[in-house]
């Protein structure tokens, strides 16, 4: 697992014991890394992203990780949902 994903997984695991404000900070961090990853993947594809796709995908990742899914599970599930929703 690349270092940023390992760091995110650790932060998210620790967030269960943190106050709500700290959890919000972890959510923001996860969302930030997710947006970068989605934008990088779209850029490398050479095709424009449908409007709202990155936000949908990253909101999904934050929600899935909040339910206890791993980074890779959340990413995989949400990527599949985005592909279905946006007809990619």
Of 49, 34, 38, which Cα lies nearest the Cα of 4?
A: 34
pLDDT tens digit sequence for 59-81 = 999 999 989 898 889 999 999 99
pLDDT tens digit sequence for 27-51 = 898 999 999 999 999 899 898 889 9
Q: Provide the pLDDT confidence category of residue 1 given band limits of 50, 70 and 90.
A: very low
2, pLDDT greater than 80: no
Cβ of 22: how many Cβ atoms within 10 Å? 13
Residue 73 is predicted with a pLDDT of: 92
């Amino acid at each position: 697992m690349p270092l940023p994903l390992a760091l995110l997984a650790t932060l998210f695991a620790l967030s269960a014991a943190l106050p709500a404000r700290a959890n919000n900070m972890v959510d923001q961090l996860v969302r930030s890394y997710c947006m970068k990853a989605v934008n990088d993947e779209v850029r490398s594809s050479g095709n424009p992203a449908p409007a709202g796709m990155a936000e949908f995908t990253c909101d999904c990742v934050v929600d899935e990780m909040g339910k206890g899914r791993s980074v890779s599970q959340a990413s995989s599930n949400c990527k599949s949902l985005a592909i279905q929703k946006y007809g990619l």
